């Protein structure tokens, strides 16, 4: 049967039911376990092969050597596209993805996340620079 | 005494979700003529592909379109796999097809909502997008992301699907099927919708063929064409499904085709999940793809998507060419706009489910007199664009090099 | 004198109208949102919108005629508020009334629409011009049915004054039943007048950006929006006074509550209607109004003539 206002019933029902949306910062839904979020670096596993750097489509990850067998990863969250290709490429499982997704920051420098391995020698304590 | 006026629709306009420019010549409320200008959103993806490795290209090409992202990446890997003569395991193909159909479901539901919005019926938009969340959650769960799934790899897929997920998808299909039946009922019964859709944007069968329309736009003009059936790829060869066509020739027909395709997609997804074989999901692909070329076709939600890849034995492809479905449909839009009301403009444009940034291409026009090469490397292009903007008073030169 | 100024500016005048208008806008938006499964705005949203707009800079297009462009929102608001004083609210007595005020109210209610037209016309933008043309076209479509049904009610009461109409229906409490058809037509015409729901053709966002209001911003837009809020209340009060004339002879407190309920009922009705219908095209709107609404309105006149002839002998 044709006629106007065919959705009336559904709409009246929906007025009485709970809304589907939530107002975001107040209420949050837990992220799915399978979500590809920010990339975490496990320095102990890294061997510095830099395959991740080569495969990263966004040029978001930079691995630098900061000491004998010690490496540092700088991940630029503003460039990263969260594809997790680096995780797949890494031969030593030194990278993994987390479910973190609320990564916005007002300061662009805060978006550069640097994780470095512990240096064995105590003499070297100057902060290494990445180019 | 209707006076002729020319009004610009775009590059920025609430009816358009992406920058494109339509220039409409109006007499009162009637559109006498429409001209389309593309090119506001050219991103140089094809060129960028040549400077990146196959693995990187995969993610770059996925970002051609935010809605049919899987279409572009699948189309590309199919071509690469053909060149490299990789045999993708069955299970990988099934998962690929599954994601493709889930993507079609989310794309068509999205379209239904957008169509509602364009005819001033936001309630339909809210309800369909609410149901679309079900698919989006399924996609996020199986692939790890709501859009740009990143499920494809050269030689297969990256994530396996668990039995638990299969059960969940099966259950969601029942809900979605019930919801879609409701939308079919609404689309065929609500007079205010029918009035706004039928007889609008007429594209006859012959015109559709002549203008090279693809996808639901063509199928609504009873052009019986579907790559999934005509040239089966992935797992479509083993699945039984109908190709939906309609003979309304108008926006109403396109709506009907899309909602019925939704039903067909649920059917396909069920078959896939019931018959999914066990086994590995991917084979290892070499980094260097042997020299060769391949053309790959894929039925994206908006129509036929074509990728051409030429390799030269290195890690980077020599040429990648993309023909997104909107490019095939865009000529039909100008034809359909002619002699319609201004009020029909948004829905006529929306009815092809346009994706303008997928469509924008740059061409080099060679001046035969001058012996300019007309070819630019990535770095030169960057330098040229910085200079060009400097001429306009904007300085980009101290931006960090990517 | 002091009493009159208080009545005009505070209660039941401007101040009351603005507050009630914001409340109605909130209810309208909340129902619209909840009908679409959304959470909807918080209660202070209309006020916040107003403050935000009022704090912004006014921009007058270079080609527009500045005086007219700036004057339109004020004229619109003044006429909507003035109309309100002639409508009996919770008693049978309006703030001001005279014989023939019904015509004055109807014309005062047309003025805001005309200012939408003129505002759009004077801003010289293409979208505004098309919006302005549509405003005017639409005006001709809904105005006739609205006039006719209100006059039909007046015909039954045999008077040209709104206060007299309510007095008549207070004396003959059951006669309003015969006007129900008119009430339905009135609601649909009101949707057109307020440019809401399926008749938001002059502001159709996806077609002509914001229609007449495309070039408006800042305080001027804030006033236009306030006018629309006030117009909702004035229009609803008019329909309530003419078509739902009950509970008028009670104590002022109860009468006031009943009046609020009546207006909110109409506001909710408008909100639901705009939720369930898709926008018409301008030609469909004209067609609908002239083919269905206008003849039905004349049937209402016929009914009232019969009632008058048969029952009120
Ligand atoms: S691929 Fe893995 S092991 Fe190699 S440099 Fe990157 S993080 Fe380290
Ligand atoms: S997730 Fe993707 S973009 Fe981000 S660092 Fe890894 S490879 Fe690069």
pLDDT at position C183 over 80: yes
Provide the β-strand partners of residue B35. Answer: B23
Ligand 1 atom at minimum distance from A49 CA: 4
pLDDT in the model for residue B369: 63
Residue B365, classed as helix, strand or coil, is coil
Concatenating the DSSP letter of every residue in chain A gives --BS-TTHHHHHHHHHSPPS---TTTS-PPPPTT----EEE-GGG-----HHHHH-TT--EEEEEEETTEEEEEEETTT-----HHHHH-TT--EEE-S------SSGGGGEEEEEPPPS-SS--SPP---
Q: How far is the CA of C300 from the centre of ligand 2 (A)?
A: 71
Q: Which chains touch A (3 or more CB pairs under 8 A)?
A: B, C
What pLDDT digit, counting tens, does each position of B53-86 carry? 888 888 888 888 888 888 888 989 989 888 888 8
The mean pLDDT value for C2-28 works out to: 81
Look at domain B45-355 and name its CATH class: mainly alpha
| DSSP-based three-state secondary structure for B300 | strand
Task: Compute chain C's Rg from CA coordinates.
Answer: 19
The answer to which of B218-222, B368-372, B388-392 has the lowest mean pLDDT is B368-372
Share of chain B above pLDDT 70, in %: 94
Q: For residue range C38-92, what is the model confidence (pLDDT) as tens digits?
A: 888 888 889 999 999 888 888 777 777 778 778 888 888 888 888 888 887 777 6
* Confidence at residue B373, expressed as pLDDT on a 0 to 100 scale: 58
| For residue B148, pLDDT beyond 50 | yes
Atom of ligand 2 nearest to the CA of A84: 1
Is this complex's ipTM strictly greater than 0.85? Answer: no
Higher pLDDT, C293 or C211: C293
Of the residues C28, C36, C184, C280, the best mutation for testing chain A's interface (the one with the most A CB atoms within 10 Å of its CB) is C36
Q: How close B7 comes to chain C (CA, Å)? A: 7
pLDDT computed for residue B241 by the predictor: 85
Q: What local confidence, expressed as pLDDT, does residue B381 receive?
A: 77
**Beta-carbon contacts below 8 Å between A and B:** 74
The whole-number pLDDT of residue A131 equals: 37
pLDDT digits (tens, 9 = 90+) for C223-240: 888 888 888 888 888 888
- CA of residue A43 to ligand 1 center, whole Å: 9
- With bands split at pLDDT 50, 70 and 90, how would you rate the model's confidence at B362? low
Tell whether the model's pLDDT for residue B372 goes beyond 70. Answer: no
Of C35, C39, C273, Cβ closest to residue A14: C35
Q: Can you give chain C as a three-state secondary structure string?
A: CHHHHHHHHCCCCHHHHHHHHHHHHHHHHHHHHHHCCCCCCCCCHHHHHHHHHHCCCCCCCCCCCHHHHHHHHHHHHHHHHHHHHCCCCCCCCCCCCCCCHHHHHHHHHHHHHHHHHHHHHHHCCHHHHHHHHHHHHHHHHHHHHHHHHHHHHHHHHCCCCHHHHHHHHHHCCCHHHHHHHHHHHHHHHHHHHCCCHHHCHHHCHHHHCCHHHHHCCHHHHHHHHHHHHHHHHHHHHHHHHHHCCCCCCCCHHHHHHHHHHHHHHHHHHHHHHHHHCCCCCHHHHHHHHHHHHHHHHHHHHHHHHHHHHHCCC
What is the arithmetic mean of pLDDT over C114-122? 84
pLDDT, mean of residues B118-123 = 84
Closest CA to B179 of C37, A28, C34: C37
pLDDT in tens, B261-318: 888 899 899 888 888 888 888 888 888 888 888 888 888 888 888 888 888 888 888 8
Q: Which of B144, B182, B189 sits opposite A36 (nearest CB)?
A: B144
Ranges under pLDDT 50 in chain A: 122-131
Q: What is the per-residue pLDDT across B210-240, written as a single tens digit (0 to 9) for each? A: 888 888 888 888 888 888 888 888 888 888 8
How confident is the model over B9-15, as a mean pLDDT?
78
d(CA A55, CA A90): 10
Contact between C260 and C47 under an 8 Å Cβ cutoff? The reply is no
**pLDDT of res. B280:** 86
Residues B249, C47: Cα–Cα separation, whole Å: 48
> B374 or C290: which carries more pLDDT confidence?
C290
Q: Is A86 in the pocket of ligand 2 (CB under 6 A)?
A: yes
For chain A, the domains span 29-130
Helix axes A8-16, C252-276, angle to 10 degrees: 120
Q: What is the mean pLDDT of residues C88-97?
A: 71
| Ligand 1 interacting residues, C-beta cut-off 6 A | A 46-52, 63, 89-90, 92, 94-95
Among residues of chain B, what percentage have pLDDT more than 90?
0
As a whole number, the mean pLDDT across chain B is: 83
Q: What is the pLDDT of residue B52?
A: 87
Asked if pLDDT for residue B370 goes beyond 70, the answer is: no
Q: Does C275 touch chain A (CB under 8 A)?
A: yes
Can you read off the two tokens belonging to residue A15? 């007025």
Fold classification of A29-130 (topology level): Alpha-Beta Plaits (3.30.70)
A22 token code pair: 């939530």
């Amino acid at each position: 049967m044709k006629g106007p206002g065919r959705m009336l019933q559904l709409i009246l029902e929906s007025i009485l039911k709970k809304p589907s949306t939530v107002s975001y910062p107040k209420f949050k839904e837990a992220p799915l376990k399978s979500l590809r979020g920010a990339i975490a670096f496990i320095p102990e596993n890294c061997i510095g092969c830099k395959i991740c750097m080569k495969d990263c489509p966004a040029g978001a990850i930079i691995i630098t050597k900061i000491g004998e067998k010690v490496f540092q990863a700088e991940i630029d969250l503003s460039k990263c596209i969260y594809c997790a290709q680096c995780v797949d490429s890494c031969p030593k499982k030194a990278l993994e993805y987390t479910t973190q997704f609320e990564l916005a920051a007002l300061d662009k420098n805060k978006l550069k996340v640097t994780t470095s391995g512990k240096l064995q020698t105590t003499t070297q304590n100057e902060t290494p620079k990445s180019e | 005494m209707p006076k002729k006026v020319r009004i610009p629709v775009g590059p920025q306009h609430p009816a358009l979700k992406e920058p494109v420019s339509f220039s409409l010549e109006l007499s009162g409320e009637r559109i006498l003529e429409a001209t389309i200008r593309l090119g506001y959103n050219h991103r140089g993806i094809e060129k960028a592909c040549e400077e990146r490795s196959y693995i990187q290209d995969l993610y770059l090409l996925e970002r051609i379109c935010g809605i049919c992202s899987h279409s572009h990446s699948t189309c590309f890997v199919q071509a690469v796999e053909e060149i490299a003569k990789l045999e993708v395991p069955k299970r990988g193909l099934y998962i690929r097809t599954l994601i493709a159909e889930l993507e079609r479901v989310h794309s068509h539901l999205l379209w239904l909502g957008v169509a509602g919005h364009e005819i001033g019926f936001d309630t339909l938009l809210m309800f369909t997008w609410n149901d679309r969340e079900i698919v989006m959650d399924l996609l996020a769960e199986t692939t790890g992301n709501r859009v740009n799934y990143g499920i494809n790899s050269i030689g297969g897929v990256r994530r396996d699907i668990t039995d638990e997920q299969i059960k969940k998808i099966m259950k969601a299909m029942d809900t979605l099927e019930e919801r879609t039946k409701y939308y079919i009922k609404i689309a065929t019964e609500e007079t205010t919708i029918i009035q706004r859709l039928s007889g609008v944007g007429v594209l006859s069968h012959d015109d559709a063929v002549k203008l090279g329309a693809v996808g639901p736009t063509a199928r609504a003009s009873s052009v019986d064409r579907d790559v999934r059936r005509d040239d089966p790829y992935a797992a479509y060869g083993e699945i039984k499904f109908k190709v939906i066509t309609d003979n309304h020739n108008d926006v109403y027909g396109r709506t009907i085709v899309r909602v019925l395709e939704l039903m067909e997609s649920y059917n396909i997804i069920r078959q896939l999940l019931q018959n999914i074989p066990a086994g590995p999901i991917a084979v290892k692909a070499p980094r260097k793809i042997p020299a060769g070329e391949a053309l790959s076709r894929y039925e994206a939600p908006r129509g036929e998507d074509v990728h051409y890849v030429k390799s030269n034995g290195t890690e980077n492809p020599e040429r990648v060419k993309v023909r997104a479905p909107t490019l095939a449909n865009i000529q039909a839009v100008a034809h359909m706009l002619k002699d319609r009301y201004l009020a029909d403009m948004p829905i006529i444009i929306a009815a092809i489910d346009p994706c303008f940034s997928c469509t924008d291409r740059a061409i080099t026009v060679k001046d035969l007199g001058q012996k300019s090469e007309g070819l630019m490397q990535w770095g030169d292009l960057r330098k040229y664009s910085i200079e060009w903007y400097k001429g306009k008073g904007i300085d980009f030169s101290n931006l960090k090099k990517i | 004198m002091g009493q009159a100024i208080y009545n005009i500016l505070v209660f039941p005048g401007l101040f009351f109208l603005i507050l009630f208008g914001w409340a109605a806008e909130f209810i309208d938006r909340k129902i619209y949102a909840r009908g679409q499964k959304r959470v909807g705005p918080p209660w202070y949203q209309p006020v916040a919108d107003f403050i935000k707009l009022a704090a912004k800079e006014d921009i007058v297009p270079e080609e527009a005629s500045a005086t007219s462009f700036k004057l339109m929102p004020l004229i619109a608001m003044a006429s909507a508020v003035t109309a309100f004083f002639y409508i009996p609210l919770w008693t049978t007595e309006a703030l001001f009334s005279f014989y023939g005020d019904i015509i004055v109210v109807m014309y005062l209610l047309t003025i805001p629409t005309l200012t939408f037209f003129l505002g759009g016309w004077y801003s010289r933008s293409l979208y505004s011009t098309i919006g302005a043309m549509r405003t005017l076209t639409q005006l001709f479509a809904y105005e006739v049915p609205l006039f006719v049904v209100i006059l039909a009610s007046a015909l039954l009461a045999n008077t040209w004054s709104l206060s007299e109409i309510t007095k008549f229906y207070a004396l003959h409490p059951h006669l309003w039943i015969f006007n129900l058809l008119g009430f339905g037509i009135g609601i649909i015409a009101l949707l057109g007048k307020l440019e809401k729901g399926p008749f938001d053709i002059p502001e159709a966002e996806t077609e002509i950006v914001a229609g007449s209001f495309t070039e408006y911003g800042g305080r001027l837009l804030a006033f236009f929006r306030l006018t629309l809020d006030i117009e909702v209340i004035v229009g609803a009060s008019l329909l309530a006074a003419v078509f739902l004339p009950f509970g008028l002879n009670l104590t002022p407190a109860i009468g006031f509550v009943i009046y609020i309920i009546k207006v909110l009922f109409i506001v909710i009705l408008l909100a639901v209607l705009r939720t369930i219908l898709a926008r018409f095209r301008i030609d469909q709107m004209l067609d609908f109004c002239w083919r269905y609404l206008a003849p039905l309105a004349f049937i209402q006149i016929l009914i009232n003539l019969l009632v008058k002839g048969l029952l009120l002998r």
